[in-house]
Amino acid sequence: MKMNKKILAAACGLLVSGVVCADDMKFYVGGDLGYNKYKYGSNIKQDNDFLKNIGASVTEKSKTPSFGVLAGLRYCENFGAELGYTFYKKVKYNISFAGIDVLNDSSFKVNNMHVDLLGYMPIGNDFELIGALGVGRTRTKADVSTNALGDAALAMAGEDPIRPSKINKVGLRAGLGAQYNIDEHFAARAMVRFQKVGKKSDMEVIKSMTSFNLGLTYTIQ
């Protein structure tokens, strides 16, 4: 319920801002390619530290490429709103003792839906600076499970086996970038974004994401 209220509040804010300067609205669609870095949450970090202290080898990748699609509405020269969905390539995760794996083929896969309010500042020669504030809903699929050896080791320690899980979190996001307007329809942009994933007190898999994106948009007039 709280998640839905945050998304609804963000959407209402975008609508209100649109009413203020709706004389020259332009609709656009686009896509982008990104390079992203995850900051893992407290549960993953604590588990990994414990495993390493007892001699385990932990493989945890935190960088991955992504592909995003988006649709936006530019209310006027200086303000706009944008909806988007990003698909991240899954990252591998593995634990082994003395070269023997205790996990099945495991990975983390993330998808992210966002709503952003954009501010534009023209700086001449068809270039613009862009600032973004919004909310993102991250869906993390932790496809992590222990194999028979791992199950046996956990059972001996009185612990339950590890099985796949899915986690949905909502967090604030912000971004800065620049855009070059190629012509009246096409524009190219570069953005750096940071997004929190859930509250600080959550025992989340991923705590935050930082991304660099290159994108292309097409304005429908």
Beta-carbon count within 10 A of 216 CB? 14
Beta bridge partners of 81: 73, 117
For residues 110 and 89, give the distance between their C-alpha atoms in angstroms, rounded to a whole number: 8
Return the structure tokens found at 81. Answer: 């709103």
CB 102 within 8 A of CB 153: yes
For residue 161, what pLDDT is reported?
62
CA torsion 73-137-189-124 (nearest 10°) is 60
Q: 127-143 and 91-97: which strand pairing?
A: unpaired
For residue 198, what pLDDT is reported?
65
> Please, what are the domains in the chain?
2-220 (2.40.160.20)
> Kindly report the CA angle at 140 between 39 and 143, in degrees rounded to 5?
105
For residue 32, what pLDDT is reported?
97
For residues 208 and 221, give the distance between their C-alpha atoms in angstroms, rounded to a whole number: 37
Beta-carbon count within 10 A of 15 CB? 11
**Quick check: pTM over 0.85?**
no
CB 161 within 8 A of CB 154: yes
DSSP letter (8 states) at residue 161: P
Three-state DSSP state, 126: coil
Q: What is the mean pLDDT of each run of 10 residues along the chain (221 residues)?
A: 52 52 81 91 63 61 90 91 93 68 70 95 92 92 64 63 73 96 95 83 70 96 70
